Amino acid sequence: MTISPVDLRPAYKPADYKSDIKPIWCPGCGDYHVLMSFTRAFAQLALPPENIVVVSGIGCSSRIPAYVNCYGFHGVHGRSLTLAAGLKVTRPELTVVVASGDGDGYSIGGNHFLHACRRNIDMTYVVMDNHIYGMTKGQPSPTTEPEFDTALSPGGTGLRPFHPLVIALASGANFIARCFSGEPNETAAILVEAIRHPGFSFVEILSPCVTFRPDEAGWKNLVHPAPVAATSDPAKAARRIMTDDGFNIGILYRGNRRPYQPAVGQASVDLSELEKDFEL
């Protein structure tokens, strides 16, 4: 009897998911680590690149589809979730990951965030939160602290910051986690869980902006593992999330709502017919 050697190597390496395009983020930006977490998570899940789609909106974080070797869509400001929702319900076999930032996701796309949580379509929403609009040069975002004093917000905005995790929970997200970009392996492990979990998974990643928020370099000293395991009880989760210090890292809520997935019908229009409308 011949025994064939078994190749125990993982099917994919993180490098298999890196595109040839070099990121142009500022050196020191947390988004470099988030990119690593993406590629490590995809490798751990052994997802064929052709079965993944990364959809984004506009902003520094939303450049990520260009840097990942899989399908991508760099969409309209704040509308990444709508694109992703349409894609996922029509192609449920694909793994859909949506990338956004605190400006794109919570302000311009804030309304879509609520309804994506409510619909609970099986996809993963990653928001790289740096509490500032970086790409457009330093305007306060929905998560900027009220006292953050800049030329654009003299004396601070005085506004209560948006609390994305609480809002996600109240709106129906089925999985909620907070990560820190400076811990890329931990973040990758949480992304793996988020992608595996049925329904709408929301992962907020604290990702410092070294250019407009150099004070965020101190986040690495503030983050700490969540002291308790994830709960499936929304009331418990709400209490924990509302009373934590904003630096609890880990999976905070795992719900068990059934994902929304309508039956996919046959296209009523032949694609070649549709193409005729766009002929020049």
Partner 1 sequence: MSNLADAPKIAGIADLFAVAYQIEADAADRYELLADQMETHNNPELVAVFRDLARAEGIHRDEIRRLAGDIDVVAHAQRIAQWSRSESPEAADLSGAHYLMTPWHALQLALGGEERALAFFKSVVETVTDPAIKKLAEEFVEEEAEHVNLVHRLLRRYPKPSDTWSDDSDPPAPQE
Q: Enumerate binding residues for partner 1 (CB under 8 A).
A: 7-10, 13, 22-28, 30, 32-33, 136-139, 150-152, 182-186, 189, 208, 210-212, 217, 220
The minimum distance between CB 133 and partner 1, in angstroms, equals 9
The minimum distance between CB 13 and partner 1, in angstroms, equals 6
Q: Which is nearer to partner 1, 25 or 38 (CB)?
A: 25
The minimum distance between CB 98 and partner 1, in angstroms, equals 24
The minimum distance between CB 164 and partner 1, in angstroms, equals 23
Q: Which is nearer to partner 1, 9 or 276 (CB)?
A: 9
Q: Which is nearer to partner 1, 211 or 261 (CB)?
A: 211
The minimum distance between CB 92 and partner 1, in angstroms, equals 31
Helices (H) and strands (E) in the chain, counts: 10, 8
Cα of 69 vs its chain's centroid, Å: 17
Q: Which is nearer to partner 1, 30 or 255 (CB)?
A: 30
Spatial neighbors of 168 by CB under 8 A, at least 6 apart, are 113, 117, 176, 202
| CA-closest candidate to residue 100, choices 62, 131, 133, 143 | 62
- In DSSP terms, which residues pair with 233 in a beta bridge? none
User: Cα dihedral sign for 87, 91, 92, 94?
Assistant: negative
The minimum distance between CB 204 and partner 1, in angstroms, equals 18
Cα of 80 vs its chain's centroid, Å: 11
| CA-closest candidate to residue 88, choices 103, 110, 73 | 73
Q: Which is nearer to partner 1, 30 or 59 (CB)?
A: 30
Residue holding tokens 């142009």? 24
Q: Which is nearer to partner 1, 28 or 48 (CB)?
A: 28
Angle 39-45-47 from CA coordinates, rounded to 5°: 75
